[in-house]
Amino acid sequence: MIKKNFIVLLSILILFLNQIYATYDYVPRSADIDRSPKNILVGSFIGGRSHLKPMLDITTILSERGYNVILLTKGNYTPSSEYPTVKQISLGPALNYKELMKSHIHKDVDFNGMMKFVKLSLESYRENYEKYINIAKDNNIDLFFCDTLVNDVCLDAAHTLKKPVIGFSSSIYFTAPVSYKSDPLYGCNISLENEPFLKRFKCIAMHPFQVYFAAHSFIDQLNDIRKKINVEPGLIALGNSPRIPFYLVDGFFGFVLPQSLPSNVQEIGPVLSDDYPPLTPELSNFMNTHKRVLYVAFGTHFFTTTENNNKLLQSFIEAINKNIIDGVVWALVETSKDSYSSTLNLTDGTQVQTSPILNNEHPHIHIAAFAPQFSILNHTNTKLFFSHGGAGSSHESLYTGTPMLILPFGSDQMGNADKLKSAGVALTLYKFTLDVNDIINKIDFLLRDENVKKNSKRIEILSKINSKRKYRAADLIEYILHSSSIYEGIDKEFLKEWIPAESRMGFIKKYNYDVYGALLSIILGFIGGILWVTFKLIGFIIASSNQKQKYE
């Protein structure tokens, strides 16, 4: 009875206290900052969706917060329907990727091949630099957001005007290189963890010389141009540059091989848009009536040989005939319909005419000049993505949980292919050894293997969680905008909280080699002292013994 009365009294007391506290007005926490209008310049020399789209997806968030965004690149990239708040100023005609890629269609695109883009950037450097400077002054630019691949003109303009600059890249390796990772562009695997000594020696010791001999003449040419227009000499930006104090990298763990990152390098990927173009009625009808669709797309710039096109088309037909898949959507962008033989000889001896297929007369193959990629990948009936392995395509495929069969052509695609294969969500092909049976077997394996399905689901979850980090990227840009205003430009205090101490300490101090050297000296001295005393003691004992024997 007493216990019951105590509980009743305690309940009444709690209600009474709640009533008292309810009369107080709590002050809400505000995270708002003073967002006075500021101007951001987004710059890219290479251009293209894989370089520009994630940057514009980030700056669109900043546009919604009241900042002005100007895009400076080649060609005309930003249709008003996709990025209506971004103003574009063109640097001239877009790069002719088709002509650039023709010379590499029959060979690997290695680091030396990438120097073609460096050469193109040098040819237009002076003209583009003047445009950057004038546009930055006319529009009172407060911050430069620069794609870091051969985009020295953007970095140099920011450096000259003493404006804060943020670098953007899809590659961790080039932005924050470490000794246990490499890239297929140098003939090395993405991970050196299990490589034998000779392979590691080549990739670690010889690779810097390879880069130097490929780039040194271009660096000299660029610095000659810089001197003529009073720009401070420096290196060429190939993914990183000492002129960039802060980097945003469009990558995420699960896709990128893990490594420790400096504090001024932030992974903020996968950067994806909030909205994508829907399926056309024709595509929607095709997708809804086919339950196991293979989607094929090699990006907007890459293509292969006629022989390979024939092998690919034959593989798809035979995979349909064997009921491995029941439909193919093929986005033919750079590949013309005359890049195929008129007749294909199937492995069972039958012949197929290609013209009706390419004109969409085959009931189970849909050819499209353009396809809304994300909407296709996101459709429940899309079971496999046959891709070149570009960064944007890889991110969209991982986000939708779609396994990949990858045919890399060059650039970052070879490294992406290796990463996806390591993650257990993809298999790769080699453009010089394409084989119809190999393609069919790999399609069948990727569709049936339970581990591929589990890995795809796991990375789908990772992708969706990490896709929110583009808002983190916008927050970081916003902080740097306001931080530079506080310090009235760039001085020794600017971004000191982001710059790791190791960048100022030098090689010996950075790794504490002086401390370890001193410690080793002390240890060796101590051991030497003990040995010296020991030898002296032994000598004394021996001498005493000899003297004793002499007197006896």
Angle 125-138/111-123 helices, nearest 10 degrees? 60
Sheet containing strand 68-73, strands side by side:
86-90, 68-73, 39-43, 143-147, 165-169, 247-249, 265-267
Q: 146 lies in a domain?
A: yes
Query: pLDDT tier at 24 (50, 70, 90 boundaries)?
Result: low
Q: In this structure, are strands 351-353 and 343-345 parallel, antiparallel, or unpaired?
A: antiparallel
On whether both 430 and 473 belong to a single domain, the answer is no
Q: 76-90, 433-447, 450-464, 525-539: lowest mean pLDDT where?
A: 76-90
On whether residue 459 sits in a domain, the answer given is no
Question: Cα–chain-centroid distance for residue 315?
Answer: 31
Mean pLDDT of 441-447: 97
Q: What pLDDT was estimated at residue 106?
A: 62
pLDDT at 493: 63
* Residue 210 neighbours by CB distance under 10 Å: 17
Beta-strand pair 343-345/247-249: unpaired
**Residue range of the domain that includes 524:** 508-545
Q: Could you tell me if 173 and 194 are in contact, meaning their C-beta atoms sit under 8 angstroms apart?
A: no
Do residues 495 and 518 share a domain?
no
Same domain (yes/no): 248, 295:
no
Cβ-based neighbours of 334, under 8 Å, separated by 6 or more: 97, 98, 298, 300, 301, 302, 303
How much is the average pLDDT of 63-77? 88
Cα 477–chain centre separation: 18
Q: Which residues pair with 351 in a beta bridge?
A: 345
Residue 406 has pLDDT above 90, yes or no: yes
What is the chain's mean pLDDT, rounded?
Answer: 85
Same domain flag for 520 and 437: no
More confident position, 528 or 460: 460
Q: What is the mean pLDDT of residues 48-59?
A: 87
Question: Is 216 found in the same domain as 98?
Answer: yes
Judgement on whether residues 512 and 499 belong to the same structural domain of the protein: no
- Are 428 and 441 spatial neighbours (Cβ–Cβ below 8 Å)? no
pLDDT at 287: 95
Amino acid at 441: N
435 and 371 in one domain?
A: yes
pTM, full prediction: 0.84
List the single range of 345-349, 449-453, 491-495 with lowest mean pLDDT.
491-495
What pLDDT was estimated at residue 84?
87
pLDDT bin (cut points 50, 70, 90) of residue 113 is: low
- How confident is the model at residue 76, as a pLDDT? 75
Q: Which residues pair with 68 in a beta bridge?
A: 39
Does residue 188 lie in a domain region?
A: yes
Least confident residue range of 138-152, 245-259, 267-281, 490-504: 490-504
Query: Does residue 78 or residue 241 have the better pLDDT?
Result: 241
The whole-number average pLDDT for the span 426-436 is 92
| Burial of 364 per CB tally in 10 Å (0-12, 13-18, 19+) | middle
User: Please, which pLDDT band fits residue 178 given cuts at 50, 70 and 90?
Assistant: confident
Q: Is residue 6 part of a domain?
A: no
Give pLDDT, residue 50: 74
Domain annotation covers residue 2: no
Phi, psi of 252, rounded to the nearest 5 degrees: -155, 150
Task: Let me know whether 253 and 322 are in one domain.
Answer: no
Strands 165-169 and 143-147: parallel
Preceding amide of 500 cis, omega within 30: no
* Residue pLDDT, tens place only, 329-383: 998 865 555 567 788 888 888 888 888 888 888 999 999 888 899 999 999 999 9
* Residue 482 within a domain: yes
Q: In the prediction, which pLDDT does 243 show?
A: 82
41, 55 contact by CB (below 8 A): no
Out of 113-122, 275-284, 360-369, which region has the weakest mean confidence (pLDDT)? 113-122
The phi, psi pair for 246, rounded to 5°, reads: -150, 130
What confidence score (pLDDT) does residue 23 get?
57
User: Highest mean pLDDT: which of 92-101, 217-226, 489-498?
Assistant: 217-226
Sheet of 327-331: strand order equals 365-368, 327-331, 293-297, 382-387, 404-406, 426-428
Residue 104 reports pLDDT greater than 80: no
Cβ-contact 546, 538 below 8 angstroms: no
Total domains in the chain come to 3
Contacts of 395 (CB under 8 A, 6+ apart): 250, 255, 269, 270, 271, 272, 463
Burial class (CB in 10 A: 0-12, 13-18, 19+), 338: exposed
Q: State both tokens at 299.
A: 């990006």
pLDDT band at 138 (very low <50, low <70, confident <90, very high): very high
Determine the pLDDT at residue 111. Answer: 67
Question: For position 215, what pLDDT does the model report?
Answer: 81
State both tokens at 522.
Answer: 């002390």
Model confidence pLDDT, tens digit, residues 223-254: 899 999 999 888 888 777 778 888 999 999 88
Q: Token match 């680091």: residue?
A: 111
Cα–Cα dist 488/482, whole Å:
10
Assess whether pLDDT exceeds 70 at residue 203: yes
Provide the CATH number for the domain around residue 378: 3.40.50.2000
Residues 241 and 336 in one domain: no
352 strand-pairing partners: 344
Whether 79 has a pLDDT exceeding 80, the answer reads: no
Same domain assignment for residues 145 and 247: yes
Same domain? 489 vs 526:
no
3-state secondary structure 77-128: CCCCCCCCCEEEEECCCCCCHHHHHHCCCCCCCCHHHHHHHHHHHHHCHHHH
The DSSP code for 324 is S
Give the pLDDT confidence of 145-170 residue by residue, as tens digits: 999 888 999 999 999 999 999 999 98
* Shared domain check, 197 and 76: yes
Q: What is the pLDDT of residue 537?
A: 84
Considering Cα of 240, then 245, then 250, then 256, what sign does the dihedral take? Answer: positive
Residue 489 lies in a domain: yes
Distance CA 94, CA 92 (A): 7
Query: Angle, to 10 degrees, between the axis of helix 125-138 and the axis of helix 152-161?
Result: 40
What pLDDT score was predicted for residue 435? Answer: 93
In a domain, 458, yes or no: no
Of all residues in the chain, the percent with pLDDT exceeding 70 is 86
